[in-house]
A and B are shown apart, each in its own frame.
Chain A
Amino acid sequence: MSVAVAIEGVEKRFGSVLALAGVSLQIAEGEFFGLLGPNGAGKTTLISCLAGLARPDTGSLTVLGHDVVTDYRAARRLLGVVPQELVFDPFFSVRESLRIQSGYFGIRHNDQWIDEILANLDLTSKADTNMRRLSGGMKRRVLVAQALVHKPPVIVLDEPTAGVDVELRQGLWQFVRRLNRDGHTVILTTHYLEEAEALCGRIAMLKQGRVVALDTTSNLLARFSGQTLRLRVARSTPLPQTLRARATESEGAWTFPLGALGEIEPLLAAVREAGCQIDDLRLTQTDLEDVFLGVMQSTSTRQATS
């Protein structure tokens, strides 16, 4: 598998703010790659550098081997970017917008492919409607269509489902999944962690312009143990100190990390022995949100102590 996107030691400063503090990443062809991080972590800046909208201060970025600065024509032809903001040109219809976008990439007579994208994004009936008249969700779909007019092998989606209703989100993901199955490399930034968990094969987590975690989604999930047991006990029979030490408390419930399911039985036996009355008990699977919070917290303590 060759490299679709290579990012090497990219730093980017805006005034006194260090938006990217030396990011290095490699994304293989055909991957569905997630870029996660809190607001201001540098996700959009990194994508802007990749797309040529921002210029890195140091470091390099390539798309299928083409440097985004020195060989920008080739790099941009291989890259389709769905911007985060809901932008549109109010002068044109959907079809006009897509034809113009094709022309920017040097493609004429692109109607066959345009029709195909429109059909896939459920926009055929809106082809001749002015962009101004479309709903937000439809404008979002046109943005996806615009990013695909030149059949880019690498597709970047910058928070494409922010503020989009559930039905459209599902439809959009089906379409993007299919693109990925057809061989397109997909890079996704999102705030919806369950989305990243469901879609992405590998994930990088960014914090303050640094990559703080980079692994396959399954490894990341495994790293933060498999399951947890959440217990709530009656106030009259509080947990003894020995058990409390093994758990973390939030909102009156105690969460015990479990290395394996076999640990449940002895744990419950210990609770019973201590005479505690169980009010509520829940077994939960670690999800990406736990991983995300764990990674973000552990990096802040590491940074605080270093």
Chain B
Amino acid sequence: MSGFRTLLYKEVLRFWKVSFQTVGAPVLTALLYLMIFSHVLEAHVQVHGVPYAAFLIPGLVMMSALQNAFANSSSSLIQSKVTGSVVFVLLPPISYVEFFLAYVVAAMLRGLMVGLGVLLVTMWFAPPSFIAPLWILAFIVIGGGIMGTLGVVAGIWADKFDQLAAFQNFLIMPLTMLSGVFYSIHSLPEFWQQVSRFNPVFYMIDGFRFGFFGVSDVAPETSLAVVATSFLLVSAATLALLKSGYKLRS
């Protein structure tokens, strides 16, 4: 597994060397969201009996973690494909499983780091409680894993940066923005509540939030089951894709 270890190290080093962009920027973005939304809505809205800012913080933490987990594996792969340096990973004796694990774990780590950063700068606005930290950890780790895996798929599939941007803007962004980061789905019309239940990101955020407040739209066990199953499914599909050598080995 030494190939895995080095590839993971390289992937972490890669985003860490540009952490201003890869960690700093998303933390600032989340902070802006919080300041604007909480300023506008704080006086008017309470969700699950908690003030809006307190409700929003876990959602922002998770959304930032998920988007950055996706960004990490996808941008790393497309860059090394476009520049051709992916050959350095393809020539050594690294199995497709090691390849998969290294990219996904690095993505999870970036997600965790961004999530932690967002939490640290936003928690001063409305100190959150941490009722069930294990649920918090479970959802952010598995959620990051799912997004990191989707990033691997997108990075391998896309031949150009604009194709990757399309994947990000038309799939990942809507899934994360329409997942209950900014609202409880119970505030939605019945139809859109039903639609939200088909969005796996909704369960990630809802379960994650349960860890902070002990209340959620659906039972956390249900969310965990949905999220874990999703992770298994996308991982299996991605491993099959990597094994086939799709777009990596002709």
Residues in chain A within 8 A of chain B (CB atoms) = 14, 48, 51-55, 72-74, 76-77, 79, 81, 83, 85, 87-92, 96-97, 100-106, 108, 146, 150
Contacts and interface: CB of A to CB of B under 8 A. Distances in A.
B245 A55 contact: yes
Given A53-B250, A103-B2, A88 B92 contact: no
A291 B80 CA distance: 40
B92 A14 contact: no
B85 A103 contact: no
A55 B91 CA distance: 13
Interface stretch (B10-18, B39-47, B152-160, B170-178): B10-18
Given A14-B250, A146-B88, A104 B6 contact: yes
Interface in B31-89: 80, 83-85, 87-89
B188 to A, nearest CB: 43
Interface residues of B, number: 27
B5 interface: yes
A91 B83 contact: no
B128 interface: no
Nearest to A86: B84
Contact of A104 (B17, B80, B88, B250): B88
A52 B83 contact: no
B94 A55 contact: no
Contact of B92 (A76, A83, A108): A76
B84 A53 contact: no
Contact of A54 (B17, B92, B249): B249
B83 A88 contact: yes
B204 interface: no
A96, A105, A146: residue with the most chain B Cβ atoms closer than 10 Å = A105
Interface in B204-250: 245, 249-250
Contact of A101 (B88, B245, B250): B88
B83 A103 contact: no
Contacts of A53: 87, 90-91, 249-250
B93 A103 contact: no
Chain B interface, DSSP helix/strand/loop, else mixed: helix
B9 interface: yes
9 closest A-B pairs by beta carbon, nearest first, are A103-B6, A104-B92, A87-B84, A73-B93, A106-B2, A76-B93, A89-B85, A54-B250, A87-B85
A77 B93 contact: yes
A106 B85 contact: no
A51 B92 CA distance: 9
Interface of B: 2-3, 5-7, 9-10, 13-14, 17-18, 80, 83-85, 87-95, 245, 249-250
B85 A104 contact: no
A225 to B, nearest CB: 41
A14 B249 CA distance: 12
B2 to A, nearest CB: 4
6 contacts: A52-B249, A53-B249, A74-B93, A81-B91, A89-B80, A101-B92
A48 B93 contact: no
Contacts of B87: 53, 83, 85, 87
Contacts of B89: 104
A192 B169 CA distance: 48
Contacts of A108: 2
Nearest to A96: B13
Nearest to A85: B84
Nearest to B5: A103
B250 A48 contact: yes
Given A48-B250, A53-B90, A104-B94, 11 more contacts: A51-B91, A53-B91, A76-B92, A76-B93, A85-B84, A87-B87, A88-B83, A90-B83, A91-B17, A106-B3, A146-B88
B7 A104 contact: yes
Contacts of A54: 249-250
A89 B88 contact: yes
Nearest to A54: B250
Nearest to A107: B2
B92 A55 contact: no
B16 to A, nearest CB: 10
B14 A91 contact: yes
A52 B92 CA distance: 9
A53, A91, A92: residue with the most chain B Cβ atoms closer than 10 Å = A91
A52 B9 contact: no
B2, B92, B94: residue with the most chain A Cβ atoms closer than 10 Å = B92
Nearest to B3: A104
Nearest to B80: A89
B71 to A, nearest CB: 15
